[in-house]
């Protein structure tokens, strides 16, 4: 059974710092991996999708990498801002497009 | 931009009531999903649908049913609401590219349901 783990559960950094969020999964037979952002009490916003054949995807200050063989993905956020404060979730997709989610990393960027 | 809307942001119901949660997407997506999100348990899949009138059970279907009469609308039904169904409910949709590698899911704003 696929399990997705995100470490750390919470992270607090000063504004301007570069940071890395980690995601690991137990079964490498995935179709894709998605990173989401969730603000308190709100829905999920899709940030990046990496197909299983890809190694990384970039969007603005965000860069996500995927190492399928080792079951790991990282989300790199450059020059963090207070507006980046949110919970970041990773999810892997199996056959049929169903997502299995990690528990999330709660990020706080201090001014 | 893909838009997924949910009928209510907040809902308060009484134990035993029948509850309908509505989700509508405007991008002609084939796939639609219902999740619930609870502290410490994360997001869990309740039901999903690959096409009109089709439905599949997710990981926690007990106490729920769904309806998909039109492609753009996917309804979650709590037949007899119970207090343990108090949760945040999230709807999502995705395009069916024929290969799951491209199926990016887009989420609605969520419905916070409280059952008293």
A25-74 pLDDT tens trace: 999 999 899 999 999 989 999 999 998 899 999 999 999 999 999 999 99
Q: What is the pLDDT of residue A98?
A: 85
Dist. CA A55–CA A65, nearest whole Å? 6
Q: What is the pLDDT of residue A90?
A: 97
Q: What is the pLDDT of residue B53?
A: 85
Q: Which residues of B touch A42 (CB under 8 A)?
A: 109-110
> What count of residues does chain A have?
111
* CB count in 10 Å sphere of residue B84: 9
Q: What is the pLDDT of residue A4?
A: 96
Q: pLDDT class for A1, splitting at 50, 70, 90?
A: confident
Contact A49 B108 (CB under 8 A): no
B2 pLDDT more than 70? no
Q: Which residue of A has its CA nearest to B110?
A: A43
Higher pLDDT, B49 or B98: B49
Contact B110 A101 (CB under 8 A): no
Alpha-carbon gap: A43 to the closest alpha carbon of chain B (Å): 4
CA atoms within a 13 Å half-sphere pointing along the CA-CB vector of B96: 14
Q: What is the pLDDT of residue B101?
A: 59
CA distances from A31 to A94, B60, B92 (A): 6, 22, 18
Query: What is the percent of chain B with per-residue pLDDT over 70, rounded to a whole number?
Result: 93
pLDDT tens track for B8-34 = 999 999 999 999 999 999 989 999 999
Q: What is the pLDDT of residue B100?
A: 57
The first and second tokens of residue B102, run together, are 């491209």
**Mean pLDDT for chain B overall:** 92
Query: What is the percent of chain B with per-residue pLDDT over 90, rounded to a whole number?
Result: 77
A5 pLDDT more than 60? yes
pLDDT tens track for A66-104 = 999 999 999 999 999 999 999 999 999 977 678 999 999
CA nearest neighbour of A92 among A3, A15, A1, A18: A3
Mean pLDDT of B42-56: 92
Q: Which residues of A touch B106 (CB under 8 A)?
A: 46
């Amino acid at each position: 059974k696929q399990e997705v783990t995100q470490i750390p559960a919470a992270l607090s950094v000063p504004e301007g710092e570069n940071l890395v969020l980690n995601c690991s999964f137990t079964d490498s037979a995935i179709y894709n991996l998605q990173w989401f952002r969730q603000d308190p009490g709100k829905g999920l916003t899709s940030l990046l999708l990496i197909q299983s054949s890809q190694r990384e995807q970039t969007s603005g200050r965000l860069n996500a990498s995927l190492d399928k063989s080792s079951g790991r993905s990282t989300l790199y956020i450059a020059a963090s801002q207070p507006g980046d404060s949110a919970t970041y979730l990773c999810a892997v997709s199996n056959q049929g497009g169903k997502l299995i989610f990690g528990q999330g990393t709660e990020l706080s960027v201090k001014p | 931009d893909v838009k997924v809307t949910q009928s209510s942001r907040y809902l308060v119901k009484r134990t035993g009531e029948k509850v309908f949660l509505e989700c509508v997407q405007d991008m002609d997506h084939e796939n639609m999903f219902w999740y619930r999100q609870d502290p410490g348990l994360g997001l869990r899949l309740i039901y999903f649908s690959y096409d009109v009138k089709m439905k599949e059970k997710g990981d926690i279907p007990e106490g729920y049913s769904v309806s998909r009469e039109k492609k753009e609308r996917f309804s979650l039904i709590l037949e007899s609401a119970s207090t343990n169904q108090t949760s945040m409910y999230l709807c999502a949709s995705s395009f069916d590219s024929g290969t799951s590698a491209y199926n990016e899911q887009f989420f609605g704003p969520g419905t916070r349901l409280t059952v008293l």
